[in-house]
Amino acid sequence: MSLSPRWRARSSIVVCSLLCLAATPVSVDGAEAWDGGGAPPEDAVWWLAAEEEVEPSPSADVEAEPAPSRDELRLGDEPAPDDEVEPDEDEVAPGIDEDDEDGEQDPEQDLEQDPEEQPEEEPEEERPAPGPSTPAVRSSPIPLGSVLVAVGVLLVGAIALGRLLRRRPHDRPAASAPAMPLRGTIAETAASEDQPPSAAEVPPPAEVSSAPPLQPVPSVSEVARVDRRTLDLLLEVGKALIDSGDAVSHVHDVLRRIATVQGASHVGIMVLPTALIVSIPEGDSVETEVAPAGQQGLRLDQVDEVVRIATAAEQGRLTPAEGIAAIAAARERPPPTSDRVRVGGYMLLTVGLAMLLRGGVLELAVAAGLGVAVGALQLASHRVRDSYQPVLPVVAAFGVAAAVFGLGRLLPQLAVFPPLVSPLIAFLPGAVLTTAVFELSTGHVISGAGRLAAGMLRLVLLALGILAAAQLLGVPAAEVTTATTTAVSVLEPWVGVAVFGIGMVVFHGVRRASLGWILIVLYVAYAGQVLGGLFFGTTLSAFFGALAMTPVAMVVARQEHGPPALVSFMPGFWLLVPGALGLAGITSFLDEDRVQGIDSLVTMGTSMVGIALGVLLGMVVGGELTAKLMGSARSHEPADV
């Protein structure tokens, strides 16, 4: 059946009206109805919550007066006082959120309250504004007497350095001049660059020819034979320098100068901490040799001999055959003292470091006894197979820690840090870590990262041994960094420097003539560290120690009986003890004292970076001083850090 147009229009109007009514909210007791779709209106939130959650009160059977409608409230009609119903305790008042268990009032309801009835807010506690920190010189724990001694040491060192620089040329040691005429045309050219010709050697003006003299062209076999001997010399010298602990950048420079003197300036050299690669072109082919290195450590007396051989090879005073034989003899050189004397030297080394750590009489006695045991273990380790070498740090650390912690239980006044760290000085990788940072700062990323990983692994092995002993005896390993010490005297660390240097010379077999020079370098390094710690804190003190030590070590290396700078640098690195800080940090970190461990590790990292930067800056100053001291003569300036 069809509808007429009139009914169709009416039907459309009715449908539209119903739709409009369905979309319009309806007021129910002051709240708007909500169909459940979307977010509920604000006026309906509390009403819906009260309807669903509030239980009826016991007085619900009493018939309550109807609440005024919204229109009545809008007209301003207020309900009579008699009609007011006291709210029940269980009834939820408007403006209170039912989900809030504390019954906090709605913020909009707070605004409608009388300002006089609102509680006064308590004033917030005023925080003091951050002010300037206390200067390090005012909060430094360094005694005044130690500061005065440091100033005196630096003044004496500056005066002695000035006297060395004012020496006349003929007072310089004869060892700096070539001992024999240089061989070959290229060697003669290098010698002419090093020393100006005398008046007798300069030809008359009439005999001077503008054309260079003709030289015989060597045959192909002679060139190959010379290159083969040069290649062997470069390999032996390079491996010996790497085993000495020298930085790869300096080893590369030394080998490059030796190759130039030997007539092989076209040689290709790549130096790594564990390998040496040398290539020499031969016509249409290239001869390359790869040699492992860094597996056999050398004593300081052997390092002294190796550096002198390398210096002679740089100056062309050694043939390749002579240089190879000299390096082999230096490697096979026996210790200059007996094993008993060397163990006594290690005991002095341990006691000296314990004095530097401000240990008391009891700590020094314990360190001396443990130093004898660890020194004997060090000498016996050379007869152990290479496969057992990585276990020695763990064994040494476990034995020393067990003894110290056991004595700590019997003697509560014993401070564990000095007698625990000082006997392990030979295992601490302070020099390795500092050399790693130096190589990283100079762009040798592979070598620096490798040394850094090896040094950190050594610290982890030592820390594992200490933690094992602590777990066995039930002693918190974190006490390693929290124990307090009582120094015997203000001068104790300064006496400890001398004891440390003497023990270093005896244990490592350094020439006795070098003892005085090594002590000068050590005292200057420690004095610079003390003054740096006074003004800039202990974290940056190592930078000033390295900065003061480096120029002195380079000038001392130019003296007749002075040790090479590489020999005097190593005791200086052990004196600045970045490895001791790292051992304490890793031990605390593994013992779940994360804050103390991270703090010690950050201090260790800052000390290593400071030492590397101090050496870099000190090398610049030392290079100018040695140039002034030795004129145009070349020097073996080590970059062993």
Q: Is residue 215 scored above 60 in pLDDT?
A: no
Q: Is residue 222 scored above 50 in pLDDT?
A: no
More confident residue, 317 or 578: 317
Amino acid 374: pLDDT: 94
Residue 251 vs residues 187, 234, 243, 448: alpha-carbon distances, Å: 20, 10, 11, 14
Distance of CA 225 to the CA centre of its chain: 47
Q: Is residue 263 scored above 80 in pLDDT?
A: yes
Mean pLDDT over residues 522-526, rounded? 92
pLDDT band, residue 609 (cuts 50/70/90): confident
Q: 512 Cβ partners below 8 Å, 6+ apart?
A: 505
Phi and psi for 114 in degrees, rounded to 5? -70, 135
More confident residue, 192 or 56: 56
Least confident of 25-34, 502-511, 536-545: 25-34
- What pLDDT digit, counting tens, does each position of 392-431 carry? 999 999 999 999 989 988 888 888 888 988 898 888 887 8
Mean pLDDT over residues 53-62, rounded? 47
More confident residue, 402 or 640: 402
- What pLDDT digit, counting tens, does each position of 450-508 carry? 998 988 888 888 888 888 888 888 776 555 555 555 656 788 889 999 999 999 999 99
Q: Are 503 and 575 in contact (CB under 8 A)?
A: no
Least confident of 25-34, 70-79, 207-216: 207-216
Amino acid 28: pLDDT: 42
The token pair that represents 303 in the structure block: 């390092």
Q: 572 Cβ partners below 8 Å, 6+ apart?
A: 521, 522, 525, 545, 546, 549, 553
Least confident of 73-87, 349-363, 460-474, 515-529: 73-87
pLDDT band, residue 557 (cuts 50/70/90): confident
Amino acid 500: pLDDT: 94
The string of DSSP codes covering 299-342 is -HHHHHHHHHHHHHHHTT-S-HHHHHHHHHHHHTPPPSS-HHHH
% of residues, the chain, pLDDT over 70:
60
- What pLDDT digit, counting tens, does each position of 232-257 carry? 899 999 999 999 988 898 999 999 99
Question: How far apart are alpha carbons 566 and 309 in whole angstroms?
Answer: 13
What is the arrangement of strands in the sheet containing 268-272, beginning at the earlier edge strand? 268-272, 275-282, 285-292
Q: How large is the angle between the packed helices 430-441 and 594-630, nearest 10 degrees? A: 70
533: nearest Cα among 142, 135, 134: 142
Sign, CA dihedral 133-134-135-136, equals negative
Mean of pLDDT over the chain: 72
pLDDT band, residue 185 (cuts 50/70/90): very low
Amino acid 191: pLDDT: 37
More confident residue, 390 or 59: 390
More confident residue, 535 or 78: 535
Least confident of 188-192, 215-219, 295-299: 188-192
Q: Is residue 85 scored above 60 in pLDDT?
A: no
Amino acid 207: pLDDT: 38
By the 10 Å C-beta count (0-12 exposed, 13-18 middle, 19+ buried), 130 is classed as exposed
Most confident of 69-78, 98-107, 282-291, 629-638: 282-291
Q: Are 329 and 308 in contact (CB under 8 A)?
A: no
Q: Are 439 and 243 in contact (CB under 8 A)?
A: no
Q: Is residue 376 scored above 80 in pLDDT?
A: yes
Amino acid 386: pLDDT: 75
Q: Is residue 347 scored above 50 in pLDDT?
A: yes
Question: How far apart are alpha carbons 536 and 465 in whole angstroms?
Answer: 34
Q: Are 568 and 505 in contact (CB under 8 A)?
A: no
- What pLDDT digit, counting tens, does each position of 92-114 carry? 444 444 444 444 455 445 444 55
Give, in degrees to the nearest 5, the angle at Cα 410 between 408 and 413. Answer: 55
Amino acid 239: pLDDT: 94
Q: How many residues does the chain have?
A: 641
Residue 429 per-residue DSSP state: -
Amino acid 432: pLDDT: 85
The token pair that represents 548 in the structure block: 């003061």
Most confident of 112-121, 460-469, 574-583: 460-469
Q: How many CB atoms lie within 10 A of CB 335?
A: 15
Stated pTM of the model: 0.67
User: Three-class SS string for 505-569?
Assistant: HHHHCCCHHHHHHHHHHHHHHHHHHHHHHHHHCCCCHHHHHHHHHHHHHHHHCCCCCCCCHHHHH
Q: Is residue 279 scored above 80 in pLDDT?
A: yes
Q: Are 453 and 520 in contact (CB under 8 A)?
A: no
Least confident of 36-40, 226-230, 560-564, 589-593: 36-40
Amino acid 212: pLDDT: 42
